[in-house]
Amino acid sequence: MNKKGDHFLKEVTKHIKSKEARNLVATELEFHLKKAKNMWIEKGLCEAVAEDKAVEEMGNPIKLGQELNKLHKPKVDWLIIILLVTAMGLGFLPIVALGYTNHFLINKVIFVILGVAAAFGMMMIDYRKLERLGWLFYTIGVLILIMLSYFPTTAINGGPYIKIGSITIESLMAVPFFFLAWASFFNNSRLKIWHLGIMYLFSLYLFLSIPNLSTTFIYIMMVFVMLWWSLLGKKKALIITVVPICLIIIGGLFFWSSAKEYQIARILGFLNPESYENGSGYMYLRLKELMSSARWFGTSGNKEFIQAAHTDFVFVSLTYYYGYLLALILVFILSLFVVRMIAITHKINGHYGKLLLVGGMTLFVVQFIYNVGMILCLLPITSISLPFISYGLMPTLFNAFLMGIVLSVYRRKNLKSSSFI
């Protein structure tokens, strides 16, 4: 580029406020200038004159810069942010209803602040740069699971965890790293099916060796939904999906024939709680009783004790204390997250961005549907939190991270890169 070409690029890009867009536009304009310049050289003009002609064809740099600034301006999805703040605000209701005005309330405030910071922090990160770090994220996820398998501090909610000062490392912490890793792997056409198979089976083995069935279930659902959006194609995805389902059915039959008495009792307690009212069916009957005793605006009079009312059973406690109306509002707000993520997915052209949105939406939906489903006794009881409502640092950060990814993808949906880049 001569001085006129460089001056033109600087004049255009100085009107573009976004640094990411500025670099993209500069690269794109330089490409088009070189292309136009070569065309004039082929017509017989010297290099300097050809470049001057190419610059003149591009038009007014100030006007062009202003138009490109509007086109590539980063977007903020205010609907997701409003839903995020609203859902986190509703998360204080169980704490207030239970009278936890001491350290629980203080901790909840800290969790929300950290969650908001995590969401906005991820929004500011260019998600496209994460694609190159797939192997790093996979390695970190594996290391977390290995640490939990062989060096656990103690166990919580049926699964091991490691305590380092005030930081608690549990299996759910590995899922975001695997989420980013699989988005990268499924967008890489060079990876063979057997490569993906080995990586998946190895990670699944680590999850099962901990064990934490709820986190393992979330992980399995995430991978198989993302699989259908991968570059492998629908036919291969169908084969890969059908084979594990058949193995699960066979494994389920084998488990039933060799299961211990208490394991069978847990399953039967879910299927027929009335016959196990003093054992494994008690909690299902208890949930039905609490949900049926609630009113549209909450239960009046003496209120009964609810186990894990601010964590796993937070949906039943909110319904019991505040009524069906609040429960419906909560379901509506969490459903809006899903609807909005689906809408954003249709607006994104990049395949990697779509994979991130689909994977993040799956992780959110599985938690949401399963938690509500087990409260309604439609699904077996397990330790799965209700997004943004259940008390706890890790669940809050986990779902805030997912929303941050969504915000990051949406923010850069207008940063269109050309095929030459």
Provide the token pair at 315. 């949906």
**Span 190-201, average pLDDT:** 87
Omega of the bond leading into 94 within 30 degrees of 0 (cis)? no
**Helices and strands in the chain, H and E counts:** 18, 3
Distance CA 351, CA 339 (A): 19
In the beta sheet, which residues pair with residue 168?
163
Predicted confidence (pLDDT) per residue in 15-46, tens digit: 777 766 777 777 777 777 788 878 878 777 88
- The separation between the first and the last C-alpha atoms of the chain, rounded to the nearest angstrom, is 19
User: Where in the chain are the domains?
Assistant: 3-71, 78-411
**Span 41-62, average pLDDT:** 78
pLDDT of residue 158: 53
**Span 179-207, average pLDDT:** 90
Contact 181, 135 (CB under 8 A): yes
Average pLDDT, rounded, for the chain? 84
Query: Chain centroid to CA 195: how far?
Result: 24
Give helix 351-375 / helix 314-322 axis angle, nearest 10°: 60
pLDDT confidence bin for 48, thresholds 50/70/90: confident
pLDDT confidence bin for 62, thresholds 50/70/90: confident
Q: What is the dihedral of CA 394, 397, 400, 405, to 10 degrees?
A: -110
Question: Half-sphere exposure of residue 102, counting CA atoms within 13 Å on the CB side?
Answer: 0
User: Strands (DSSP E) along 115-240, which ranges?
Assistant: 154-156, 159-164, 167-169
Phi-psi label, residue 30: left if phi above 0, alpha if psi -120 to 50, beta otherwise: alpha
Work out the angle at residue 381's Cα, subtended by the Cα atoms of residues 379 and 385, and round it to the nearest 5 degrees.
100
pLDDT of residue 160: 72
Predicted confidence (pLDDT) per residue in 269-295, tens digit: 888 888 877 788 888 888 888 888 888
Judged against a pLDDT cut of 90, whether residue 219 lies above it is answered with yes
pLDDT of residue 95: 86
* pTM of structure: 0.84
Judged against a pLDDT cut of 80, whether residue 407 lies above it is answered with yes
Judged against a pLDDT cut of 80, whether residue 211 lies above it is answered with no
Predicted confidence (pLDDT) per residue in 223-275, tens digit: 999 998 888 877 777 777 777 677 677 766 665 666 666 667 778 888 888 88
Phi, then psi, of 22 in degrees rounded to 5: -60, -45
Contact 50, 40 (CB under 8 A): yes
Q: What percent of the chain has pLDDT over 90?
A: 37
Judged against a pLDDT cut of 90, whether residue 408 lies above it is answered with yes
Would you give the DSSP letter of residue 378?
S
pLDDT of residue 418: 39
pLDDT confidence bin for 156, thresholds 50/70/90: low
Q: What are the distances in angstroms from CA 347 to CA 128, 169, 413?
A: 16, 36, 7
User: Strands (DSSP E) along 238-352, which ranges?
Assistant: none
pLDDT of residue 417: 46
pLDDT of residue 54: 78
Residues 6+ apart with CB under 8 A from 384: 214, 217, 218, 312, 366, 367, 370, 371, 374
pLDDT of residue 252: 67
pLDDT confidence bin for 184, thresholds 50/70/90: very high
Judged against a pLDDT cut of 90, whether residue 364 lies above it is answered with yes
Provide the token pair at 357. 């949105």
Classified as helix, coil or strand, 391 is coil
pLDDT of residue 419: 37
* Amino acid type, 407: L
**Span 121-150, average pLDDT:** 92
Residues 6+ apart with CB under 8 A from 296: 323, 324, 325
* Amino acid type, 136: L
Q: Which residue has the higher pLDDT, 97 or 373?
A: 373
Distance CA 152, CA 167 (A): 13
pLDDT of residue 41: 80
pLDDT confidence bin for 363, thresholds 50/70/90: very high
Would you give the DSSP letter of residue 229?
T
Contact 142, 202 (CB under 8 A): yes
Least confident interval from 211-220, 349-358, 412-421: 412-421
pLDDT confidence bin for 79, thresholds 50/70/90: very high
Which has the closest alpha carbon to 182: 147, 143, 234, 130?
130
Phi, then psi, of 155 in degrees rounded to 5: -120, 145
pLDDT of residue 166: 60
Which has the closest alpha carbon to 316: 104, 105, 305, 96?
305
Q: Which residue has the higher pLDDT, 229 or 6?
A: 229
Distance CA 171, CA 149 (A): 10
Q: Which residue has the higher pLDDT, 344 or 278?
A: 344
